[in-house]
Amino acid sequence: MYEMHFAVPMAGGVLNTINTRLDAHNIATILNHSQAKFFFVDYEFVSKAKQALQLLNNHFAPKSFPLLILIQDTNFKPKSPTTMTLFDDHHHEYEQLIQKGDPNFVPIGIQDEWDPIALNYTSGTTSSPKGVVYTHRGTFLSTLSNILTWGMGTQPVLLWTLPMFHGNGWAFTWGVAARGGTNVCLRYTTARDIFRNISDHHVTHMCCAPVVFTIILEAKESERRPIKSQVQIMAAGSPPPATLLHQIESIGFHVTHCYGLTESTGAALACEWNHEWNKLPKEEQARLKSFQGIGSLTLEDVDVKDLETMKSVKRDGKIMGEIVLRGSGLMKGYLKDKESTSKAFSNGWFRTGDVAVVHPNGYIQIKDRSKDVIISGGENISSVEVESVLYRHPRVLEAAVVAMPHPRWGESPCAFVALKKNVSEEVMVVSEDEIIAYCRENLPHYMVPKMVKFVEELPKTSTGKVQKFELREIAKALVEEKSSENSDNNVETNYKNNNVLQAVSRL
């Protein structure tokens, strides 16, 4: 995938990396929508790729079919050797293809810097994934921006704890090359492999969501190696909790906290550290570091606005508005989706969907998310996508999926479901486990709700819109209730339980 980041643009093509955690149906949808001409697949994913191609053929009947190219990674031996023969007649072997290449090939020049370089599908607010188009201009600027934000010097050694399919590794795929660095690639993000690689390759940098902090901190003694030289972490995906921040920094890491979306080609905001803050107590430092911060150098502008008036909110750390972005580093738009593209921009500003305040020092802090996205272990989950599966269940009348706090993944999906009433009593009986099993059949596993709550009716506004804010409060309370089940029944717990019951009874 790293080689593709250079080879595909040099060949005049557009790179579309695919999240390997998606299921075959998602992948078929993407292949169909992107009209991919070549499909590069690592042997580990051959069986999923085969399913996807079958779905593509059976359900979409595309005019042209992508040419399959299989990659035999030197460190990976396929579990089932039979999968290797499945495509004998239709595929190429990557290394063999490379051997046939022309060493004198001159890379295709860029005619227009606004031409696309990459396409990244994101789980947005609608059920079908949207194809975010990056331009050469945008990725160039974002690459510079990300290096600058991190203060990444020359000859870095970057450990790929962030998948390269996430917004092209926040543009560090290109960034490491720009800095004359070394890439250390990981097949599985395990504590043992992280520690081993840091030690063996003198890793200086790594990007990740805070869930990787947990993986590192949960390492067994036998898996650990001493961190001899400070490792720089760029963290994004969700704000790192203060305790995690403190713990990870105390064992030899240093965290730069950023904020971005697929649409912003890596970090749009960064919590640029003011050296003065080093004098503050550790807890206050962690609180400040959890802020999303200020705009990056290549972003034309960032603001928090009242979207009805398009006025900037007061810098008081209290009044909320939506984070909006402007600049060449942003996506060009969603592929073949004019409606979503025009919805994403208001008066030239890209709407992030994140609700935030601005502190008096200009630092932005997210308070809520107006878009229905759940961020679980750094992965975006579209609540609408999960809901659309729930709605397909024969006994579901209505469903709403919201984020609930999760100690490991940051957030996980919680489903609220109202069942149909005009069916016989017998058919009505459906358990939480059955709903979850149904979701597992129809969704990538990381998108499956971890909790399902049955309700009489979903809370709605006067105009009939589901009040997700209220559901999120309930989900949060339910989690707290659960976690306090094993603790003493003190006043605090009783109070919380009462609140939960009251909230649920209101439904």
Q: Which residues bind a copy of itself (CB under 8 A)?
A: 144, 147-148, 151, 153-155, 178, 180, 272-275, 297-298
Shortest distance, position 180 Cβ to a copy of itself, whole Å: 7
Minimum CB distance to a copy of itself smaller for 231 or for 471: 231
Q: Which residues contact 412 (CB under 8 A, 6 or more apart)?
A: 374, 376, 403, 404, 406, 449, 450, 451
| Residue reference for tokens 């240093």 | 254
Distance, first Cα to last Cα, the chain: 48
Distance (Å, rounded) from C-alpha 114 to C-alpha 130? 19
Angle at 247 between CA 244 and CA 249, to 5 degrees: 105
Please check whether residue 306 is in contact with residue 313, taking contact to mean a CB–CB distance below 8 angstroms: yes
Tokens standing for residue 152: 């990444």
Shortest distance, position 156 Cβ to a copy of itself, whole Å: 11
Minimum CB distance to a copy of itself smaller for 129 or for 266: 266
Shortest distance, position 140 Cβ to a copy of itself, whole Å: 9
- One DSSP character per residue, 355-421 reads EEEE-TTS-EEEEEESS-EEEETTEEEEHHHHHHHHHHSTTEEEEEEEEEEETTTEEEEEEEEEE-S
Minimum CB distance to a copy of itself smaller for 147 or for 479: 147
Shortest distance, position 272 Cβ to a copy of itself, whole Å: 6
Distance (Å, rounded) from C-alpha 328 to C-alpha 139? 9
Minimum CB distance to a copy of itself smaller for 195 or for 363: 363
Minimum CB distance to a copy of itself smaller for 362 or for 407: 362
Minimum CB distance to a copy of itself smaller for 82 or for 361: 361
Distance (Å, rounded) from C-alpha 453 to C-alpha 434? 12
Shortest distance, position 202 Cβ to a copy of itself, whole Å: 11
Minimum CB distance to a copy of itself smaller for 30 or for 144: 144
Minimum CB distance to a copy of itself smaller for 98 or for 280: 280
Please check whether residue 20 is in contact with residue 45, taking contact to mean a CB–CB distance below 8 angstroms: yes
Distance (Å, rounded) from C-alpha 60 to C-alpha 63? 9
> Helix, strand or coil for residue 239?
coil
Shortest distance, position 150 Cβ to a copy of itself, whole Å: 10
Shortest distance, position 141 Cβ to a copy of itself, whole Å: 9
Shortest distance, position 151 Cβ to a copy of itself, whole Å: 5
Minimum CB distance to a copy of itself smaller for 101 or for 153: 153
The CB density around residue 79, as the number of other CB atoms within 10 Å, is 10
Distance (Å, rounded) from C-alpha 483 to C-alpha 481? 6
Tokens standing for residue 208: 């990740």
Shortest distance, position 494 Cβ to a copy of itself, whole Å: 49
Shortest distance, position 273 Cβ to a copy of itself, whole Å: 7
Shortest distance, position 155 Cβ to a copy of itself, whole Å: 6
Minimum CB distance to a copy of itself smaller for 120 or for 149: 149
Minimum CB distance to a copy of itself smaller for 129 or for 156: 156
Minimum CB distance to a copy of itself smaller for 15 or for 271: 271
Shortest distance, position 107 Cβ to a copy of itself, whole Å: 12
> Helix, strand or coil for residue 452?
strand
Return the closest-CA partner of residue 187 out of 166, 215, 159, 211.
159
> Which residues is 119 bridged to in the sheet?
133
Distance (Å, rounded) from C-alpha 389 to C-alpha 443? 8
Distance (Å, rounded) from C-alpha 444 to C-alpha 48? 12
Please check whether residue 236 is in contact with residue 257, taking contact to mean a CB–CB distance below 8 angstroms: yes
Distance (Å, rounded) from C-alpha 154 to C-alpha 145? 15
- One DSSP character per residue, 267-335 reads EEEE-PPPGGGGGS-HHHHHHHHTS-BEE-TT-SEEEEEETTTTEEPPSSS-S-EEEEEESTTS--EET
Angle at 90 between CA 86 and CA 94, to 5 degrees: 90
Minimum CB distance to a copy of itself smaller for 19 or for 298: 298
Shortest distance, position 276 Cβ to a copy of itself, whole Å: 9
